[in-house]
Amino acid sequence: MVPPTAKEYVALTLDMIGVPYHVLIDDVNEVIQTQRASHSSKVAARGSNEDFFMFYHTIDEIKLFQDSLLSTYGNILSELEIGTSYEKQPMKVLKISTGGASDKKKIWFEGGIHAREWISPATVMYITNKFLEKYTSGSEDEVNFLTKYDIYILFVTNPDGYRWTWDNDRFWRKTRSPNEGSECVGTDPNRNWPFEWGGEGASEEPCSDTYRGSSATSEPEIESVVNFLKKLENLEMFIDFHSYSQLMLYPWGYASDLAPISNEEEVKKLGDATITAIEAVSGREYECGNTVELLYAASGASEDYAYSIGTRFSYVIELPDKGKYGFVLPEEEIIPTGEETYAGVMAAFRYLIEYT
DSSP string, 33-74: HHHHHHHHHHHHH--STGGGGGS---HHHHHHHHHHHHHHST
The rounded distance, in Å, linking the Cα atoms of 278 and 342 is: 8
- Determine the Cα angle at 334 with ends 331 and 335, to 5°: 125
Active site (annotated) includes residue 236: no
Distance of CA 323 to CAs 56, 120, 162, 243, 320, Å?
Answer: 19, 15, 21, 10, 8
Among 142, 303, 318, 339, the one annotated catalytic? 318
| Rounded Cα gap, residues 262 and 74, in angstroms | 39
Through-space distance between the first and last CA atoms of the chain, rounded to whole angstroms: 45
Strands 149-154 and 90-96: antiparallel
- Specify which residues 151 forms β-bridges with: 96, 107
Burial class (CB in 10 A: 0-12, 13-18, 19+), 223: middle
Q: Give every CB contact of residue 353 below 8 A, 6+ residues apart in sequence.
A: 144, 145, 148
H helix runs in the chain, sequence order = 7-16, 28-45, 59-72, 119-136, 140-146, 159-167, 220-231, 264-282, 291-294, 302-308, 334-355
Q: Which positions are annotated as active-site residues?
A: 318
